[in-house]
Amino acid sequence: MKKKNLIYLVLFCLFLGINYLNVWQFTFNDLVSYGKELSGFQLWSFYIFGCVLNTVILYFIVYLFAYYSRQFKIFLSIIFSFLVVYITPLTLIIVKLISSYDSFVSGISDLDSDFYILLSLQTTGILLASYFGNLKAKNEYYDKEKNENMHIFGIRKWVLALLVISFNPVVNFVIKLTMVRLYDFTLIISSGKFWDHVFSFENIFSEDSSGIYGLLTSLFSIVVVWIIGGYLFYGGLYAIKNKTFKYRILTIICIYVLIPALFIFIPLLRNRTWFF
């Protein structure tokens, strides 16, 4: 691989990491600041779901990196994974360290066991994503002549980066909806009322939001919204790559301009946020 192409690939993967790997944490901070009260069970449910989500995202980033940089060993993919995950936190730490050293040191000394458990989970996720992403990439057929221009999915990297940015309002909506429905799910499952009547005939067939119906609805809505969001983005990429696609321009404009614009302007018109 040419040195210039490698630099572009690294920058693009870092861009994906910065753009996606911190969304769950930032949205969770918004949820907490909104005033939602969380039990220990709910808190750890959000933590674990966030770790799993970031592991999946990192898997695809590592796959992308390893697929186009096939000359490197898996050890480099692992190092690169840690860089992608921690580049934003390290930047914030450095800024904090420079601006207020004493409060930063005091904060480090106050870290509890939860932090180290989360760090262990995150490290495990990084190692899993690195190994399986690298393994998947190296087992894929690689057409050197076709991939020499380093287009991603047949699309120029700068164009793909713009598409990712334009689609961010949809991603933010999906993340927030997921967080709200996960909150509802954990609220139901941690309720004593739910467990008192969980196996009752009335609870199974009732449409009460605090019963089986509400539990399944919460889970199902999360799955559906992710499928729709993924299908939209993939459909837009497919339309861009295939110039013979029917209503190609209209499809691209709808997916990457009109739909994201709706997710931005509808809350503004209603003078409120979507969820919190």
Per-residue pLDDT of the chain in tens (276 residues, 90 and over written 9): 677 778 888 899 999 999 999 899 899 988 888 777 788 888 899 999 999 999 999 999 999 898 888 777 888 888 989 999 988 778 777 776 666 655 545 555 555 677 788 889 999 999 999 999 999 988 887 766 555 566 777 788 888 889 999 999 999 999 999 999 999 888 888 776 666 666 665 655 555 556 677 778 888 999 999 999 999 999 999 898 888 888 889 999 999 999 999 999 988 887 777 776
How far is CA 71 from each of CA 55, 130, 143, rounded to the nearest angstrom? 24, 16, 14
Domain boundaries, the chain: 1-150, 151-276
Q: Which of 60, 65, 61, 54 is nearest to 8 (CA)?
A: 65
In this predicted structure, what is the pLDDT of residue 276? 64
Alpha helices in the chain (DSSP H): 3-20, 23-33, 40-68, 74-99, 101-109, 113-139, 157-189, 192-196, 201-205, 212-241, 248-253, 259-270
pLDDT value, residue 106:
55
3-state secondary structure 218-246: HHHHHHHHHHHHHHHHHHHHHHHHCCCCC
| pLDDT on residue 209 | 59
- Give the model's pLDDT for residue 72: 76
